[in-house]
A and B are shown apart, each in its own frame.
Chain A
Amino acid sequence: MQTITYDDAARAYYVYGVVAGPAVALPDVHGIDQRVPLSAIAEGGLMALVSPVDPADFAPDLIEERLADLTWLEPRARAHQEVLSRVAAAVAPLRFGTIFLDADGVRAMLRENGPLFRAALARLEGRREWGVKIVVNPRRLTDHLIETSPQVRSLIVQRDRMASGATYLFQKKIDMLLLDLARRQVEACVAASHARLSILSAAVAGGAAAQRQDDGNELIFKGAYLVAEDQLAVFMAEVESLDAQFVGFSFALTGPWPAYSFAVAPVEDAAYV
């Protein structure tokens, strides 16, 4: 294994997140720079999870090009995630790419945002972030609506009694009705799901989405939920229950995540910019 040393001028600190330290044990994991292990900088009862990086690696004039290069971005993004997910205590994650030029900068950030971090960590203690995605399969939903809507069935019966040349406009009418019913069912599914999952969560983020996927299905909802550990079984059962209730919709649960969606964004609020 190659041993590297950074002289002071070439060392910057990449900050992954903040824990209520200094008693929190550091996981045995490497940093963004795979050659160096995770370390920590403590200040005022808080501890920043850091590792040294070469600031040239994140140089502003090169960063746009590098972020577009998945071979550069992916291992670093995964290292960021790995550090945060391996910490056994509540951690307030910082956004990818949070870098300070020296340890004093990290300490100043901890000092000036102490109350924010302490409040966030108290909120996150014993809770984890879970992601819920809902995808609609338009064909299956339409099939289901044809089976279950008396209005649609009645129109289909009428259509089938018509002479073949007369059905074109009538079919248009059925299609419009199906589209409208599908839109309402999507809204109902999103509203019911978000409401029922929110009740079981300490905090929620995200919401309705509209994103066509390669397979023709559509992502209609992407939510993040902060769920207490002792509520997790109930939360999962509720997702399963929604999945069973809404025919034509698929629910996917991801997690547990570090609380990316529920952490603070200290730098924007700080006065030292």
Chain B
Amino acid sequence: MYESLSIDRELTLLDLLDRILDKGDITLSVADVDLVYLGLRLRLTSSSRQPDV
């Protein structure tokens, strides 16, 4: 058999960012900073109190 099932308990950074920054059908790559930024910006600007810095 060519394949073997792997269970990854060590989370790759890409998998992690994919989940915590933006869920759904957008696939992030680490270089996709626009998408990464969008995920966070949506949260910051739609929160009632944006940090006033």
Name A residues whose Cβ lies closer than 8 Å to a Cβ of B. 12, 55-56, 58-61, 63-64, 67-68, 70, 73-74, 77-78, 80-81, 93, 95-102, 105, 108, 131, 137, 140, 205-207, 209, 211, 222, 236, 239-240, 243-244, 247-255, 257, 260-261, 267-268, 272-273
Contact = CB atoms under 8 A, between A and B. Distances in A.
A222 B27 contact: yes
A253 B25 contact: no
A239 B5 contact: yes
A267 B46 contact: yes
Contacts of B22: 95
* Category for how many chain B residues contact A: 35 or more
Contacts of A206: 25
B21 A211 contact: no
A96 B23 contact: no
A61 B44 CA distance: 12
Nearest to B35: A67
B51 A260 contact: no
B3 to A, nearest CB: 4
B52 to A, nearest CB: 7
Identify whether the interface residues of A are mostly helix, strand, loop, or mixed: mixed
A96 B44 CA distance: 10
B7 A105 contact: no
Contacts of B15: 131, 254
B47 A267 contact: yes
B4 A243 contact: yes
The 10 A-B pairs of least Cβ separation, nearest first, read A55-B51, A97-B40, A260-B19, A101-B49, A96-B20, A68-B33, A59-B53, A250-B3, A254-B8, A243-B5
Contacts of A267: 43, 46-47
Interface of B: 1-9, 11, 13, 15-17, 19-25, 27, 30, 33, 36-37, 39-44, 46-53
B21 to A, nearest CB: 5
A238 to B, nearest CB: 11
Contacts of A255: 9
11 contacts: A61-B53, A67-B40, A95-B39, A95-B40, A98-B43, A101-B49, A101-B50, A209-B27, A211-B27, A250-B3, A252-B5
B44 A105 contact: no
Contacts of A236: 7
A260 B6 contact: no
A59 B51 contact: yes
B13 A55 contact: no
Contact of B13 (A61, A77, A205): A77
A131 B10 CA distance: 13
A248 B47 contact: no
A55 B53 CA distance: 7
A96 B36 CA distance: 10
A254 B49 contact: no
A101 B27 CA distance: 30
